[in-house]
Structure 1
């Protein structure tokens, strides 16, 4: 069966005349210059679901594992400093007062500044080359951390780590948006983002194993964490260079018809779009940032990251205060179970989102989970209850990585706008990461009322903003649906194809995805 069928049963000549030269075959449909929708947003073709399902399975197999491995080691190389701290790094470097917090902050300064430039570079250079290159870069910086002997040197290396890691999260989200339909994207984002809680679990186990080693030459204790994990990361970067491809057209593992189907189905969900990977365009880049959905979601993601990064950096410290009499290795191992549960929840919620093609209702439910956890943190000093609260906080916070990036990605039309929308979302989100480095202060332990109170307030803001965004987009969709075809034609009258594409979310036939 053909991978695509015309919805209309009339003659091809009639279809071509009505829809301004609609291509007669799949390969032509996927070419630049052709749209897969009419000016009113109606999809002009019907895709074969069997061919689509087969294609998606193939994309899942060839695309997701590589980006998941990159993000796994990205998160480990960023968060292993929390494990190193309780393994002697703080003492060996002579860190005093707020110097550990300053060390964490140095990473986020560069991480935030290079967020959008990195995603534009990813589009310009191509994800297949850019992502492997920065993976080798942050692996090298992780390895270099093993050889620092002063606070100043540690700050410098940590700053450079942020430069290389800045492009990973937005770059992968942008890369996946080239391959999947809007409803499919969130679960694929979750498949790689679930490596964040997995990195927490695996990182704790790996830290326990590495710290049990007698030493590698002059490198001992916490230094081994950075050395071993940095070398592995660089290896992942080299391998990914050979396994990644920029977009469907360059995929050697897709047939000619599969490439055309992959391109056509993505174009079909973006009214007026004539290509999946357009050239850099200033107006489109700006449109991705000023999109009201992008602005609101990035505000949510800011508070999400206060929680997520706080969990990553301070969970070993928090667990150590809950179980102060345990051995160093057992303290590391106690950090594992909450992350395992986080991995499961981080897949269940995005899977439900994919199947229901909704996201904002899961924003609301996830925020409620995290709120419950921080209420327990503040309400009791019972070690078991507080350890249980770690599970709730992780389960409520980690699904937002996929939810927020998917919500941003599916609500822009062009490839250029998508690159800046995702970049902006992650950049603003990581301001929250910067704030998180000052959320758990030495004098606030062992109960950390300031840090837990900040996270409780932040998740309440997430809940309120999510409800307001859901209401706003729903009301705006009703207004757009009330427009007649004649009114849409009037708004588009006199505009060129390029001008119509630059309208992006302002296109009258566009509908927000909730």
Structure 2
């Protein structure tokens, strides 16, 4: 009789934990063989997540391109109504992220994540058919519901495949999709808006419809392509599965003790995560990114147009900004993994973005448009450089996997509330200076730097206390209890 999905996972992971030959297997793979196995995982997992996130960010932010293409005029929107349409997305988007990751743990990624993509593709397609402000608000609300589970689910999925100083290099590859989405979105919008009048619809409507249909078609093969976990990966041999499971169980930061990705989620895990005060400090760091990034995504095409460029050229001129931001974010994340440091790179990204916003506040507008355009590069590059280290910092420092799933979702949920602020700080009556928008982004970045220093101090203090624990105190805890303690284990060391 064929084993069920759950029984198969338990069988493989039990062998990896208990079978002496499995322990030997973890030792027989040298560095070259380890890289070979990880490449197999990379090829199967990372491209799928990259495409999904590229679509996610395009589909939530293309409303900025639609505005430039004439949406506000056709729907009769005022500036305040446009900001409301931006804002309403983030309310369900933030509220449903934690429940979505709980569902992910109760089901499996290959079922849950493609279903999310399929749903938001359908919603976006329908957005192209709205006729008034009310219809746009309803569509944006349900787009927020549909997209809520993807980003926390995708970032969590990476943590059950890679060690703590491997995961960020992979995460930045798929997160680069967010940076590239600005470039693709501008390029697509530039081409699609020329369909204005086709079937009686505006060019802005075709932006939503065609990009929504493309998302639906991408979602369908993901049900078969997206892998769930090392224990069930059909593209790995049994020895390779056990090897991946063991190397992650032994990843405690102290070369002693164990953690687990095999835990079944319970109310205790949810409460443990939600009671961890360090998540809420990290939310402030996240706001430094989310407020600025969403404000940029929705406003930068308009800002560039106000420098004297045509609507079509404003779409195209967003492309180099996002390409540059992607390159900077990728370099910073890879360096963070190699140097095994998170906090320094978070502070560096915040500092660079702060300098960019100071320069934008000081630059004359619309005079010297080239200078203002250049300062946008600096601000965007800094903003995109520190969000992945922030997410990985919390993910690296939470165990077991159920607590990590909830904790990462709570971080992203709270952090994405910044999108509500970012949607409302660039005020039309302040154009082209945007004192409130640039000033608020600068202020929250300063708060992010302070929060990073506080969080680093807290993790460092806890590591020192555990280093000073007596061996008798550690020995009093059983192996099973150590696994259940997760990041509270005396052998667990926090990443700085």
Q: TM-score, normalised by structure 1?
A: 0.88
Matched, 1:91 2:73: yes
Q: Which residue of 1 aligns with 2:287?
A: 302
Q: How many residues align?
A: 476
1:214 to partner: Cα distance = 5.4
CA positional deviation for 1:273: 4.6
Residue among 434, 449, 471 paired with 1:463: 449
Q: Which residue of 2 aligns with 1:186?
A: 168
> Taking structure 1 as reference, are residues 97 and 76 closer, same or farther at Cα in structure 2, changes over 3 Å only?
closer
> 2:407 maps to which residue?
421
| Root mean square deviation, CA, Å | 2.1
In the other structure, the counterpart of 1:280 is 265
Q: 1:379 to 1:150 in 2, by over 3 A?
A: same
- The answer to whether the 8 Å contact 1:373/1:392 transfers is yes
Match of 1:315 in 2: 300
Structure 2 counterparts to residues 211-250 of structure 1, below 5 A: 211-213=193-195, 215-250=197-232
1:344 paired to 2:344: no
Aligned to 1:445: 431
2:358 to 365, 371, 375: 375
Match for 2:317 among 324, 334, 344?
334
Say if 2:259 and 2:482, in contact at 8 Å, map to a contact too. Answer: no
Equivalent residue, structure 2, for 1:17 = none
What is the match of residue 258 of structure 1? 240
TM-score normalised to structure 2 length: 0.92
Counting helix residues as a fraction of each chain, which structure ranks higher? 2
In 1, the alpha carbon distance for the partners of 2:237 and 2:479 equals 34
Aligned-partner Cα distance in 2 for 1:255–1:503:
31
> What's the CA shift for 1:250?
1.7
Query: Which structure 2 residue ranges, 5 or more long, are not aligned?
Result: 1-11
Q: Secondary structure at the match of 1:85?
A: helix
Once structures 1 and 2 are overlaid, which stretch shifts more, 185-194 or 214-223? 214-223
Match of 1:473 among 435, 459, 462: 459
| Residues 366-393 of structure 1: CA deviation (Å, up to 9, x unaligned) | 0111001000111121322221121111
2:182 pairs, out of 172, 193, 200, with: 200
Alpha-carbon deviations, 1:440-461, whole Å to 9, x = none? Answer: 1111211100000000001111
SS for the counterpart of 2:306 is helix
Distance 1:442-1:32 versus aligned 2 partners, 3 A rule:
farther
Equivalents in 2 of 1:405, 1:309: separation in Å?
A: 17
Find out whether 1:50 has 2:32 as its counterpart.
Answer: yes
**Do the aligned residues in 2 keep the contact of 1:127 with 1:246 (CA within 8 Å)?**
yes
- Post-superposition shift, 1:421? 0.8
Deviations 1:233-258 (A, max 9, x none): 11111121121121112211111111
1:365 correspondence with 2:348 = yes
Distance 2:207 2:58 in 1: 10
| 1:469 match: secondary structure | helix
Aligned pair in 2 of structure 1 residues 502, 314: CA closer, same or farther (>3 Å)?
same
Q: 1:177 aligns with which of 159, 183, 206?
A: 159
Cα deviation for residue 434 of structure 1 reads 1.1
Q: Distance in 2 between matches of 1:32 and 1:386?
A: 62
Report if the CA contact (8 A) 1:82-1:314 is conserved.
yes
Q: Which runs of 5+ in 1 are unaligned?
A: 1-25, 38-43
C-alpha separation between the residues in 2 aligned to 1:183 and 1:496? 25
Tell me: CA distance 1:377–1:475, structure 2 relative to 1, closer, same or farther (3 Å).
same
- Partner of 1:278: helix, strand, or coil? coil
